[in-house]
Amino acid sequence: MTIEEVYQDFDMVPLTPDDPKLHRDLFGEFLKEMSRAICLQRLKDKKYLLPGHKGAGKSTFLNLLADDKDIRTNFLVVHYSINAIGNPYDFTHCDFLYSLALKVTEAAILEGVEIDERMLDQIKRMVGIIQEHIQEESTEERRENTRGGDEIELKLPQIPMIPQWLRAKVYGALQLSSESRKKIREFYRIRPQELMNNINDFLTDIALAAGKRLLFLVDDMDKIPLKESFELFEANREFLEKPQANILYTVNIALTSSSRYARISTIGENKYFPSLKLRPNPSRPDPDELKITENRQNLEKLLECWCPEEFIQPEAVSMVIEMGGGNTEQTLRLLWYALDHVVIRARSNIITRADVELAVIRRRNEYQLNQEHIELLGKVRDNALWMPEKDEVIETERSSFLDLIYNMSLFEYINGEDRWRYPNPILLPLLNR
């Protein structure tokens, strides 16, 4: 292998279980614990909240969970990203509910579940409403094309082709057309109970036909901006509680730093995604050096999976890990920036510490921080247990403190110990200016 081949193979997307770049030890016992907990409580239609930073590895974790033998034995697994049917920056409870119907239809057919006439009618009714609102024709044009005032019946393809048809005809339109999404939301705004009842009837029928409980693994909900996240998880939490299925929601960890999370947490059971600390927790009487060493070793192995050691100097590996702050996405992004510099600009065959230093600068320049942000980061640097005072706004989406956590300027660590935080290491030079 050459360094150019390493460059060509570098693609920062969630890893599948068979990807050679996957380092399973990063998830420790968490995968086994989650699988066991979900399977043991499968009859309860439990909801789980998975708070964590963006880039912590939750998407890869969900890929592994969806592929887990015990999970697949006990559940019809419906694993999807909200990116597949919409836009995280414009996503509501209504979008979530109809995504359940669309995605369970797709999953059931792909798993060979027998779709009877009743279920087919349910699919036609739900998809028909969505399809009607994403048609390019105007209402007047549709009326001209109807005969005798009858509605145009939705014509579905043969059942095995429905998943492909949904991807081609429905998902793309929902992703691209904000106007279509608005029309669908308005249609259901005055019919919330009808929507909920129809979806639960459908979920029940699918589960009975499959002979298994349903498990939805809903990814990328942690990418939803703070304002919309509070709207979805707090103001409309009843719609996330009521679906008759087991559901795991990814949540941005910033929400957990607000007292409003007490209401959000009523949706289901909290399962904090493990955060990799690389420095001692100041609230512990012992420095927990064994765990820190284990985390560093796991990150070293992760980097070796992506870039063989002959192409990166040990000092460069150490700096990538230190500057990554324990966040796998940032760690790999720094490696990519350094690799990009070496291959494209320097045309060298090995990554040095100097290349990583340039990568850190490049990453730091992607952040736009104001003076208030800098001051808050300085307070947390000096006291990792610091919390905003009562007169500071932390309960709204306008909170600078929550914003720092949301955009990964401030890393938060919760691993069965008191919550503590530390600034993103790449930003520390800004605090000394």
- pLDDT reported for residue 153: 58
Residue 168 lies in a domain: yes
pLDDT in tens, 5-25: 999 999 999 999 999 999 999
The conformation of residue 410, written as its DSSP 8-state character, comes to: E
Domain end point (choices 332, 349, 364): 364
Percent of the chain whose pLDDT exceeds 90: 67
Residue 15 lies in a domain: no
Whether residues 332 and 228 fall in one domain: no
- pLDDT reported for residue 432: 83
Whether residues 352 and 395 fall in one domain: no
Residue 141 lies in a domain: yes
Mean pLDDT, to the nearest integer, of 398-420?
89
- pLDDT reported for residue 50: 97
Whether residues 314 and 400 fall in one domain: no
Q: Which amino acid is at 59?
A: S
| Range(s) of the domain holding residue 287 | 277-364
Alpha helices per DSSP H over 236-307: 237-241, 261-264, 289-306
- pLDDT reported for residue 165: 86
- pLDDT reported for residue 393: 60
Alpha helices per DSSP H over 383-425: 400-406
Asked if pLDDT for residue 369 goes beyond 90, the answer is yes
Residue 343 lies in a domain: yes
Asked if pLDDT for residue 189 goes beyond 90, the answer is no
Whether residues 99 and 245 fall in one domain: yes
Structure tokens at 287: 């420095």
Residue 22 lies in a domain: no
- pLDDT reported for residue 136: 47
- pLDDT reported for residue 391: 46
Whether residues 231 and 86 fall in one domain: yes
- pLDDT reported for residue 416: 66
Q: If phi over 0 gives left and psi between -120 and 50 gives alpha, with beta otherwise, what is residue 272?
A: beta
Mean pLDDT, to the nearest integer, of 178-187?
83
Mean pLDDT, to the nearest integer, of 280-301?
87
List the single range of 176-180, 328-332, 383-387, 406-410 with lowest mean pLDDT: 176-180
The total number of structural domains in the chain stands at 3
- pLDDT reported for residue 156: 79
Asked if pLDDT for residue 28 goes beyond 90, the answer is no
Name the more confident of 282 and 4: 4
Asked if pLDDT for residue 320 goes beyond 90, the answer is yes
Whether residues 288 and 326 fall in one domain: yes
Whether residues 289 and 334 fall in one domain: yes
Residue 14 lies in a domain: no
Burial (CB < 10 A; 0-12, 13-18, 19+), residue 158, is exposed
Domain end point (choices 364, 393, 412): 364
> If residue 4 lies in a helix (H) or strand (E), which one and from where to where?
helix 3-8
Residue 294 lies in a domain: yes
Whether residues 375 and 360 fall in one domain: no
Taking all residues of the chain, what is their mean pLDDT, rounded to a whole number?
89
pLDDT in tens, 113-170: 999 999 999 888 888 888 777 664 334 444 444 443 344 456 778 888 988 888 887 8
pLDDT in tens, 207-224: 999 999 999 999 999 999
pLDDT in tens, 325-368: 999 999 999 999 999 999 998 788 999 999 999 999 999 999 99
Asked if pLDDT for residue 206 goes beyond 80, the answer is yes
Domain end point (choices 215, 250, 270): 270
Whether residues 154 and 283 fall in one domain: no
Residue 301 lies in a domain: yes
Burial (CB < 10 A; 0-12, 13-18, 19+), residue 103, is buried
- pLDDT reported for residue 154: 66
- Split at pLDDT 50, 70, 90, the class of 392 is low
Whether residues 181 and 87 fall in one domain: yes
Q: pTM of the predicted model, to two decimals?
A: 0.91
Angstrom CA distances, 368 to 165, 222, 327, 331, 363, stand at 42, 20, 19, 20, 11
Whether residues 358 and 294 fall in one domain: yes
Whether residues 139 and 243 fall in one domain: yes
Task: Reduce the DSSP state of residue 269 to 3 states and report it.
Answer: strand
Asked whether the beta carbons of 31 and 66 are under 8 A apart, the reply is no
pLDDT in tens, 61-109: 999 999 999 999 999 999 999 988 888 888 899 889 888 989 999 999 9
Angstrom CA distances, 313 to 21, 307, 317, 356, 375, stand at 19, 11, 6, 10, 35
